[in-house]
Amino acid sequence: MHDGVSADSGQKIAIHNLSKTYTRGDQTVRALSDVNLSFSEGTFVTLFGPSGCGKTTLLRILAGLETHDSGDVSLFGETPQQATRAKNIAWVPQSAALLPWLSIRANVKLSQMVNRAADHLAGVRKRLPEDADQVLADLGLADFADARPAQLSGGMRQRAAIARGFVQGAPLMLMDEPFSALDELTRDAVRLRLLDVWERKRKTVIFVTHSALEAVLLSDKVVVMTPRPGRVHAVVDIDLPRPRGRAVLDSPEFAAKVREVQHILRQGWEADE
Ligand SMILES: Nc1ncnc2c1ncn2[C@@H]1O[C@H](COP(=O)(O)OP(=O)(O)OP(=O)(O)O)[C@@H](O)[C@H]1O
């Protein structure tokens, strides 16, 4: 365990002294206070903590969807707004948000086509091609590529949304509790699919969750956040070997790491009391 570190580099995600206050009427909420984090490319990072600790606010700032009051964010040398304009961020939302009139394949390829068109207009180098059918197959959707979203279960639609994120070819994927609407069994299965595809592609991912188990299973680093004001309490390295399949869920090392993360979160709460 170590504190969040600050650094700035074109090869990193670097967040330095980031603060954000919301104002509603005469009330203010300090959603984020002095957040410092730094991650290298290809890291799977989870923002973990209870409701109201600023996870979504931080993710939305990284995505260029929310402003911040002070501090700096560098996404591989770009501001969030520059990265968004250059289509260098893929956003995987809580609900799949697929276009109902398009097939799953067309949904997944749409953002890829939009991104390529944007690259062409901007005169920038083409991004690495991702084979949409292969990514759909990797996520267990090969037989549903021609189906419409309404013909899929919730878990399958969420897998399609994840496939769309990978296929976009953006170097950074931001995932806002993408499994929160799924039942526990489906959630387990989709987590393992995501893990499998990510371990082969190693994109930089920042993932929001309330679940210590999910955070430990997926991540290289778990950012433990505490509320009032939202801030980083600790960054925990998850050094469990990869690839991590279903078997890791039953290992004592996994259980110990989940307990460690939960304990660190409780310490953060108790320090506030
Ligand atoms: N648009 C807004 N206007 C005012 N306050 C807001 C707004 N968005 C978030 N907040 C407040 O900022 C704080 C952090 O909210 P945020 O949604 O980022 O937390 P979170 O950790 O993602 O919570 P959850 O896990 O419940 O989604 C909370 O106190 C919340 O009420």
Distance CA 90, CA 102 (A): 20
Expressed in angstroms and rounded, the spacing between residue 77 Cα and the centre of ligand 1 is 27
Backbone angles phi and psi of 187, in degrees to 5 = -60, -45
> Do the interacting molecules here have an ipTM over 0.85?
yes
Task: Looking at the structure, give the CATH architecture of the domain made up of residues 15-271.
Answer: 3-Layer(aba) Sandwich (3.40)
Distance CA 94, CA 187 (A): 13
Domain ranges within the chain, ordered by starting residue: 15-271
Judge contact between 45 and 39, C-beta under 8 A.
yes
Q: What is the pTM of this model?
A: 0.91
Q: Is 52 close to ligand 1, i.e. is its CB under 6 Å away?
A: yes
Helices (H), the chain: 55-62, 80-85, 104-122, 132-138, 154-167, 184-201, 212-218, 252-272
Q: Counting atoms of ligand 1 from 1, which one is nearest the CA of 228?
A: 29
Residue ranges for the chain with pLDDT beneath 70:
1-10, 123-129, 272-273
What pLDDT, on a 0 to 100 scale, did the predictor assign at position 129? 64
SS3 of the chain: helix, strand, coil, percent, to 5: 40, 25, 35
Mutate to test the pocket of ligand 1, among 33, 53, 228 (most ligand atoms within 8 A of CB): 53
pLDDT tens for 223-246 read 999 988 999 999 999 999 999 988
Q: Is 101 close to ligand 1, i.e. is its CB under 6 Å away?
A: no
Q: Is 32 close to ligand 1, i.e. is its CB under 6 Å away?
A: no
